[in-house]
């Protein structure tokens, strides 16, 4: 059994942040240690919410308590998502270093949540620069969407060659593996959406049909990062993890659409995490 520390946001209702990541990790056999950066009634996509953002000191204090239990040497990975602000980002990067000191084989998986195509940045000023300059060099695995990949590398991604060049540029700054979670390019079928996994030994692409979800459910990037990490920790095989994660998130989207809700239907689709009913071919592109 693998153990993953997940430092992300938390909502009472719905599925984003840790609510979108912890259950998939657990369903795939990982013991998840959840540390919440915020506690809101619901995700901010609804336009209104209640709750509080936790301070960096609060999160650091929680991690001190976790470390005091002597669990860090047995932890296999740290997964981080929405950071909130630079101070909290510093705590997360420091936690990654702390974990690696306790277990040099541990993986720091950073989902650089900061913006998206059409929305632009939706995080506090200074955080994109912090992620670019500090989280990227500390990470082993980065899971940016296309907008985030372009920002982190200063490159425009319009073709597969562009995506490969950008992911290589990101790897050159620290991470050994990059998962581009939502790739839309001019030289591909507009009715499909792709994910790209790229490491020094190769790159793999998977394409799934684009489902009409309006509005698109929040939390899909959080779920994909957790699904990919859980499968990656089993065999450290990027292609296999990509195939499994793509099948699972597609099934989640299908179930969400069928049930007519804007919240990801993780519970209803949980068996698809383990045994997907529909798989998609993974193609080696480098």
Can you name the residues that pair with 110 across neighbouring β-strands? Answer: 80, 142
222 is in an annotated binding site: yes
Can you name the residues that pair with 120 across neighbouring β-strands? Answer: 116
243 is in an annotated binding site: no
111 is in an annotated binding site: yes
Q: Do the Cβ atoms of 175 and 218 come closer than 8 Å?
A: no
Q: Do the Cβ atoms of 134 and 89 come closer than 8 Å?
A: yes
Residue 270's contacts (CB-CB under 8 Å, 6 or more residues apart) are 23, 27
The beta-strand segments (E) located in the chain are 2-11, 30-40, 51-53, 77-80, 107-110, 115-116, 120-121, 141-142, 177-183, 192-199, 202-209, 282-284
150 is in an annotated binding site: no
Binding-site sequence positions for ATP: 111, 148
Binding-site sequence positions: 9, 111, 148, 222
Binding-site sequence positions for substrate: 9, 222
């Amino acid at each position: 059994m693998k153990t993953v520390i997940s430092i992300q946001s938390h909502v009472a209702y719905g599925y984003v942040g840790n609510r979108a990541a912890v259950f998939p990790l657990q369903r795939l056999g990982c013991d998840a240690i959840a540390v919440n950066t915020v506690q809101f009634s619901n995700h901010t996509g609804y336009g209104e919410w209640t709750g509080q953002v936790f301070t960096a000191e609060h999160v650091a204090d929680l991690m001190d308590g976790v470390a005091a239990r002597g669990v860090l040497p047995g932890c296999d990975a740290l997964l981080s998502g929405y950071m909130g602000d630079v101070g909290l980002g510093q705590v997360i990067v420091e936690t990654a270093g702390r974990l690696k000191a306790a277990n040099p084989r541990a993986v720091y998986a950073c989902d650089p949540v900061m913006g998206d195509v059409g929305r632009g940045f939706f995080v506090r000023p200074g955080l994109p620069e912090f992620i670019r300059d500090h989280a990227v060099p500390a990470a082993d695995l980065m899971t940016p969407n296309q907008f985030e990949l372009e920002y982190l590398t200063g490159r425009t991604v319009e073709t597969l060659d562009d995506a490969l060049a950008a992911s290589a540029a990101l790897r050159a700054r620290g991470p050994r593996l990059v998962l581009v979670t939502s790739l839309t390019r001019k030289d591909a079928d507009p009715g499909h959406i792709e994910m790209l996994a790229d490491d020094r030994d190769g790159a793999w692409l998977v394409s799934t049909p684009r489902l009409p979800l309006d509005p698109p459910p929040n939390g899909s990037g959080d779920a994909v990062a957790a699904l990919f990490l859980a499968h990656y920790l089993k065999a450290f095989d990027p292609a296999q993890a990509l195939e499994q994660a793509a099948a699972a998130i597609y099934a989640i989207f299908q179930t969400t659409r069928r049930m007519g809700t804007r919240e990801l239907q993780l519970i209803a689709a949980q068996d698809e995490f383990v045994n997907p009913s529909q798989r998609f071919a993974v193609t080696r592109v480098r």
